[in-house]
Structure 1
Amino acid sequence: METHVCRSILLLLIFIYFLYILGKLLNVPTKEQNDHERVKIPVELFVMSRCPDAVACEEVMADVVKEVNDISTFKTNYIATLNSSATYGATCKHGDLECNGNIQELCFQEVNSNQLTFFNYLMCIHRSFDRIGSHEWAKQCSEEVGQDYDPIDKCVNSDTGLNLFIKSVQKSKANQANVSCTIFIDGHKRCIRDGGDWYDCPEGNSVKDFVKSIKNAYKK
């Protein structure tokens, strides 16, 4: 009797162990699952919407994002001086029209999370530099890339847009990013474009170089 009980217990333990091993085998993540679950690399551009260097910088990044869209998140933050008495709560280097342009771009990102569409919007905006920040031009470019401008306009003309702008300026200040355009990849300063020149770019400043940096960060 005791022998029979011991044998039954042993068989039960073997069966439980078999189920445990089977569960492990069935739950082995595939390469696709690992890639999907891996955290995307943040790429942040600290810019001013009416700054020529920001325009040049964003045009390079527009090509970069096409190569690494699936493994990265792109975000623009804006450089200005906090000023509670200013119209937008901060003073922009190129005037209030720039502040408005900054808010338009922040609101576009808030309404539409597709970063490829956002960069298409920026490329449209850049076609007429003097109109950056104007309502009519932002509306036209938004519609050109397939985005209804009404929700963006509502954001721009509300506390939502102002709060996005102030938080963005605060983030630029916290990161000591005071030059437009300053690029951060994976939380680290990667490159600066200022006065028509690239500098502090130890890994290069071409589309290929930025793509490589992002892919290397993703592999870590």
Structure 2
Amino acid sequence: MDSKSPLLPRTRSPSPMPRRHRFRRFHAAAFVFVLGLFWLAVNWQCTDPTHNHGGEATADKVPLEVHIMSKCPDARDCLQKFVLPAMQNVSDKVVFRLSFIGQTTDSDDGVQCKHGQTECLGNILELCAASLYPDPKLYLGFTMCMERDYHDIPAKELVQDCALEHGLDFDKINHCVSQDDGSYAMGMLRDSVTRSADLNVTTSCTVRLDEKVRCTVDDGVFKNCPGGKKPEDLIRDIKKLADAARGWTE
């Protein structure tokens, strides 16, 4: 992937907003400054693009992580038939994370993808969506929209249509992809691929619940699903783990 040119066409930077108001008194300016620092401290975990978008359990939630390749039909089937129906029912009980499978190398900007560099770009687009819109309802919907037409990834029209359908800003995603001549987004992909490798995940799609493999989809077949391969089975397991995390028992 050529790191010297943006992965998608660059858009013009917006003109700076004119400064219409000035505080004349020192104490008023100091108040605004302190308030701004407080806001940043409260919201840092939501706005920092390097923040882990899931994977760590909280007091009453359990980690649910899905490892995919963006141009893989098994990723589409896994999300559509298993993960999304479950998330529609128990998204409030999990900390969701989407990770990608590939291979780190000393060339190709450090990452190779099984289905070529267009898949690497598809992975990056979906990572950028997750970084900019941490709510799984938004970025998982965008990802599913892309996966339905995985053959066309990363066509600009597809990305624009999926962004519009799920309320995401295409220009923001575009900026994320091309930021620092692509090195920023490539770093996210490299970290994601490294994570999957460290967890010994090589199959797209692999679903991990509570740090354990819950199910895999390979060549259109659901495998290694000891708790069942239907969405209601995953919902049941998530509810049971979340209740246990709260200290509830039947």
TM over 0.5: yes
**Does the aligned pair in 2 maintain the 1:43–1:73 contact within 8 Å?**
yes
Question: Which residue identity does 1:75 align to in structure 2?
Answer: R
Query: 1:11-50 deviations in whole A, cap 9, x for unaligned?
Result: xxxxxxxxxxxxxxxxxxxxxxxxxx73421111111000
Identity of aligned residues (%): 32
Query: 1:174-196 deviations in whole A, cap 9, x for unaligned?
Result: 10000100110011111111011
1:40-59 map, 5 Å: 40-59=61-80
Q: What number of residue pairs does the alignment pair up?
A: 183
Query: Is 2:86 aligned against 1:64?
Result: yes
Query: Is 2:98 aligned against 1:76?
Result: yes
Give me the whole-angstrom Cα distance separating, in 2, the residues matched to 1:135 and 1:195.
Answer: 28
Unaligned runs of 5+ in 2: 1-57, 245-250
- Structure with larger Rg: 1
Give me the whole-angstrom Cα distance separating, in 2, the residues matched to 1:42 and 1:135.
Answer: 32
Match of 1:190 among 188, 210, 214: 214
Runs of 4+ with >3 A deviation? none
Match of 1:207 among 231, 237, 240: 231
**Does the aligned pair in 1 maintain the 2:70–2:150 contact within 8 Å?**
no
Q: What SS does the aligned partner of 1:177 have?
A: coil
Q: What SS does the aligned partner of 2:106 have?
A: coil
Q: If the length of structure 2 is used for normalisation, what is the TM-score?
A: 0.70
Partner of residue 23, structure 1:
none
Partner of residue 129, structure 1:
150
If each structure's helix is expressed as a fraction of its own residues, which one has the higher value? 1
**Does the aligned pair in 1 maintain the 2:72–2:150 contact within 8 Å?**
no
Partner of residue 188, structure 2:
164
Deviation of residue 123 (structure 1)?
2.8
Query: Is 2:126 aligned against 1:105?
Result: yes
Deviation of residue 126 (structure 1)?
2.9
**Does the aligned pair in 2 maintain the 1:121–1:142 contact within 8 Å?**
yes
Unaligned runs of 5+ in 1: 1-36
Partner of residue 59, structure 2:
38
Give me the whole-angstrom Cα distance separating, in 2, the residues matched to 1:83 and 1:169.
Answer: 11
Give me the whole-angstrom Cα distance separating, in 2, the residues matched to 1:121 and 1:107.
Answer: 11
Partner of residue 53, structure 2:
none
Query: 1:161-207 deviations in whole A, cap 9, x for unaligned?
Result: 11110000000001000010011001111111101111111000110
Give me the whole-angstrom Cα distance separating, in 2, the residues matched to 1:85 and 1:183.
Answer: 29
Give me the whole-angstrom Cα distance separating, in 1, the residues matched to 2:210 and 2:144.
Answer: 24
Q: If the length of structure 1 is used for normalisation, what is the TM-score?
A: 0.79
